Chain A
Amino acid sequence: MSSGPVLYDVAGPEEKRRERLISWVLGVVVLLGAGALIWRLAANGVFDDRWRILIEAPPNFAGYEVQHIWMAVFRGLGSTLLAAVISLPLALLLAVALVSLRTSPFAVVRGAVAVAVEVFRALPVVLVMLFGVLVLPGASPLMAVVFGLVIYNGAVFAEILRAGIAALPKGQTEAAQSLGMGSFLTYRDIQLPQAVRMMLPSLIAQGVVLVKDSSLGYIVGYAELLRQVSRVTDALTNAAYLLPLLAVGAAVYISLNIALSRLAVWVQRRSARTRRTVVAAPLAPIVED
């Protein structure tokens, strides 16, 4: 992959002028389009006084202060992230356990792990969450959400680690075995550390997916961001307030995800620079959303 553009020439002076002209025209077209959309939205009253709710509560609701509104939004955001923060380490733990079982001397165990990983990866997370709600004895909504996130992402993390181990040079395993290390010890001390290092970008990217999926708690009745936002608008009996409240909550949530994604890209660049052993990374990153 070369760094410059491949699909078109680095332009000469005349071509540059033409490109700049087209870019300007396109820019103007885009701005006109955006302007038309904004004008249309304004005509529909999107920019009316509904945004005032972020500064003061509507006057006809006595005792409802603006800080209640903000607290509800941030409590929702906090619950969403709480589910993600609890699930992430548990899912990683599950993945490490699943992959370690792949070194078992019993074919039955190895087969069972392979089937479990395949099945859990192919199920929608909400369905697993619903299973958690209905089947786990005495499960709170938070537990059901964590259950869904851990089962699904644990399986995906396991698959990422397996792919990382498979991509290691064979000599690593052979050298470990020639030192008399058993398959579990080889896995724990030789394969796993290298696989984690190599697959770190994929692991972080899947972490973003986990954080994103924590919003699915809305569907199984967990009091997260969207639930809180709709509760506030229900209390104020005006659906127009959904937009400003959702905008605030979503903006925080999405910025967090973008920051995490950037981190993944940064780690990838850094590890590409500092990699000492020559290891071919798998063709496509395994990330599932």
Chain B
Amino acid sequence: MDHLFEQRSAIWDAFLTTLSLAGISGLLALVLGTVLAGMRVSPFLPLRVIATGYTEFLRNTPLTIVFFFYVFVTPSMGFSFSYKVAAVIALTCYTAAFVAEAVRSGINSVAPGQAEAARSLGMSFGQNLGLVVLPQAFRTAIPPLISVFIALVKNTSVAGAFSVLELFALSKRLTNAYSADVITILIGIALCYLVICIPLGRVAAALERKAVFGR
């Protein structure tokens, strides 16, 4: 218990690293995922093929393999990134596939009459998607997007195994240093994750209930 208190500044730093990893990759993945979802519903076959292939592939690839690729394999291919950048790239690539699925299911849930009405006003595909369908799609997509973000927060722990000092890496370091206090240290680190994930889950559930009644 004392050690946990002693190390509070290290834990706080690691907590912030976890948050910033999740925040940065989350934002990038949101952009990339939305673009992918748009490509998937577009009238142009090459874009649909790329977006479908990307989502299908990344959704079925273990995150550890994605990390392993960006951290250990790319240097032998003539690219190399710092550990933190590699972590952000890996998390973004992986999460974008899930974001794309969430946004696509949101797009599917928009009443077809909306898009039909937009079309009958002569809107192009881009206007239709950007001005009419996506704004409504995001409303239904927010609870699943929050779930994706919760998963992202938990997934940042994989970065800890690839030389980024965030909460999981710190837990490994601290349990090595103070082997008598393993359980309290792990519970302390677990609490840090719970503090982020449980409130987010509550918000998602509440929004989902609201969306169901709002229909």
Contact = CB atoms under 8 A, between A and B. Distances in A.
B61 interface: yes
Contact of A226 (B44, B64, B171): B64
Give the one of A5, A6, A131, A239 with max B CB within 10 A: A6
A205 to B, nearest CB: 10
Interface in A145-159: none
Nearest to A29: B46
Given A130-B186, A257-B60, A288-B150, 8 more contacts: A7-B133, A23-B46, A41-B77, A130-B171, A135-B182, A283-B143, A286-B147, A289-B151
Interface of B: 41-47, 50, 56-57, 59-65, 68-69, 72-73, 75-79, 98, 105, 108, 112, 115-116, 119, 125, 128-129, 133, 143-144, 147, 150-151, 154-158, 160-161, 168, 171-172, 175, 182-183, 186, 189-190, 193-194, 197-198, 201, 208, 211-212
Interface residues of A, number: 60
A288 B151 contact: yes
Contacts of A9: 119
A289 B61 CA distance: 11
A122 B143 CA distance: 16
A1 B112 contact: yes
A64 to B, nearest CB: 19
Contacts of A8: 43, 119, 125, 128
7 contacts: A8-B128, A41-B77, A44-B78, A119-B190, A124-B193, A226-B68, A286-B147
A18 to B, nearest CB: 10
A218 B161 contact: yes
Contacts of B65: 215, 226, 246, 250, 253-254
Nearest to A220: B161
B152 to A, nearest CB: 9
Contacts of A22: 44
A122 B198 contact: yes
A43 B78 CA distance: 9
Contacts of A122: 150, 154, 193-194, 197-198, 201
Contacts of B198: 118-119, 122
Contact of B211 (A19, A127, A283): A283
A26 B46 CA distance: 7
Contacts of A121: 197, 201
A254 B76 contact: no
Nearest to A241: B76
A72 interface: no
Contacts of A243: 73, 76-77
Nearest to B133: A7
Closest 3 A-B residue pairs measured CB to CB?
A44-B78, A122-B197, A124-B157
A130 B168 CA distance: 9
A284 interface: yes
Nearest to B201: A122
Contacts of B61: 212, 250, 254, 257
